[in-house]
Structure 1
Amino acid sequence: MADVHGVPRLLVSVTQTAFVVRLVGLLATLVLIMGRELTPAILVGVVAAGLTSYLGLARPEYLSLVSRHPALALADLVLMAVAVGFAGVDSPLVLVLLPTALLLGLWIDRVAGGIVIVCLLAVYLLGLQATTPVDQGSFTVTAILPFVFIILWLLGLVIATAVEGERRAQAVVRDAIANAAASSERTAIAREIHDSMAKSLQGIVMTSAALPTLMERDPTGAREHASQLQAMTTQAVHQLRQIMSSLRERSSDQTLSSAVAEAAMAWQATSGRTVELAVRQDLDTEDDAVRYELVHSLTEALDNVRHHAGPCRVVVALECPSTDRLVLKVSDDGVGMSAHALTEAALAGHHGVVGIRERMARIGGLADVVSVPGRGTTVTLSVHREGLIER
């Protein structure tokens, strides 16, 4: 359930539906008073209902203001109620007041809303007693309209409660996914330290221990071992920097666009190849897990290019073909390979593509790999901005 300008989409949809019903009631009111005197109360009610309904439909970003300041919704209801009070309880403006009860339930908490409902119904019944004798013919006006008003308010409360519950559930799921991804990545980093850095450091220790003896017996061999020691040290430093970079990126405040561009430029610097960027600068996601897995999948895809594509042109593109979907592409025009070769590579222990697909699966995304021998490879990563959330 994606948000629209910070407001849950379902809440926006129900609110806009209520505004549409208000406009229909407003049109019915204008038809019913045609040929009659337009009193100031009815005029104020018509203008207020028309303006607020139009703003709610045409400018949904204003609903975020109502979310932060519920008193705005309360003011709208009070304005409509006052207009109906002055126009009379038998005024057609009652048709406009009914969907406003739904809006009251959607945007005002139950305690404040309950107090307002009680006050409005009291004013309504007092006005009814003053203007219309209570008899069997007035049962609809006396009982059914207040009953419908209460039902619509309760319906708004139920919808608002359900939306808030869904938001909390999604937040729990997002946190669980992010924690699971972080735990998995920590395990991978620990494995990488064990498999790479530990071996490199062990080699450095053994070579360093042999140097004093070699300097006495074989100075030429000692110089060669010193050169090997320097190379192993440089490699260990590079491995350590990669691990530290991974740890920093996990809590990075970068936007997705900046993180993708930085990862591509870092790969360009270490690989000696040129990367063409086609990255929209305004793209981001509020889900850390989505940003993290996309960037690391990009790094994995670029490493596959370095090891398997040969000399080629490399393009990294980040786009948003729809409002809620992110697509990251890594394309090259290198040697490529057949689908059978991809399968054989995985069986032989080359799990680059498999790892990318596993990363995307963690966040509810897809990884599509299209490779043609002699024409290159394109890796397409597609994911919802909010990750693994059912909509």
Structure 2
Amino acid sequence: MTKSRRRWLTPLGSWVLGVLGLWSAPLLVNVDPEATFDSPGPNHLAWWAGLALLTIQAMALAWRSTHPSAILVATAATALVGGAVGLGDSVGVLSVAVVVAAFSWGLRAEYGGAWPAPLAAAVLVGVGTLLSGEPAGSGLVQGLGVVGLPLTIGLWLRGRHELAAAQQEQLRARAGELEARIQAAVAHERTAMARELHDIAAHHLSGIAVMTAAIGTQIDTDPAAAKRAVHQVRQECTGVLKDLRSLVGLLREEGPAAEPSAAGMRPESLANIGELVHDVRSAGIDVSTDVLNRGDELGAGIGPLAQLTAYRMVQESLANAARHAPGTQCTVIIDDTDPSQLTVEVTNSPGERGTEPNSAVGFGLVGMRERADLTSSRLDYGPTASGGWSVRLRVPRQDAATQEAA
């Protein structure tokens, strides 16, 4: 059914009901001549006037959606005209269109400034009832019933629709907010994964690059050393796979299937820095370590995330030294003597002649800065007075209460 046909369906139904009422009212008088029911028949001019008023009402109802207040008043005015032309008790057939118009007003009319329309319609219907010969009480009841009751039902249905629409809008807003939070969380996790992958790749691939450069010069002059270097390259490749597998294991959902593999995939800590330096030294990089400890456990009061930050800082700094200043001497200092903080510093000497330390802030330094911010640590880096490069991380200690809460 097209929109145009739906527009005329209700007015047509109203017209049919009104005509049936107008046609059947005189028959009631013929059935019971002693009845006090006063209604003109088709042989009276008033009956034809009522038919014309019903037709006018039906035509007016076609615009009830766009002009609800005007159509309500217009249909109610026809009831006044019907009472004036002598429809008598048949004036009630004109109330069908008024009921439809009042219901439409409740569904569509604007609240502000529109209330005079239903009040005027109720008055017009009441006066029309009085002109038909009914007492004043009947006119009041007719006006309130024909206009007030359908209008109230329309307002109630409208309120239900608006409430449902508001709830749907609220659900959409919540869904949008949840989606935004999910996207932010995904972006944060992507950044963290990119940082981890950069640290892993930079550390191992830098070592592989150094060792393959040595293999190129040793393969003809010192085959035994070249074989040892190839073995070290293989170890570095195995280390890459191990670290990547560890990262993937941490990203997997926790569950019974993940527990066996997760047991051997613990985040790196301060205690593992010695092993890290040993691996780097095995790759042909000159690295020395100096640990200053108070006698307690290394890194006491430093949380797991902060220890991982320090480990990654050393790993990335050594990789940068091998990449940007090959052949330099590196020093890793872990100062655990300050009760309030732990300091980790990585320094490399000036590069070989013709090479200069790269002071550009790449993704490695950006990752260090992000990790330091996450743990409330302080990261400083820059060239040294001798022309080398230094990276220093100061990690604050947690007190006992904070550590237990964490």
With the length of structure 2 as denominator, give the TM-score of the two structures.
0.39
Higher relative contact order (Cα pairs below 8 Å, separated by 6+ residues) = 1
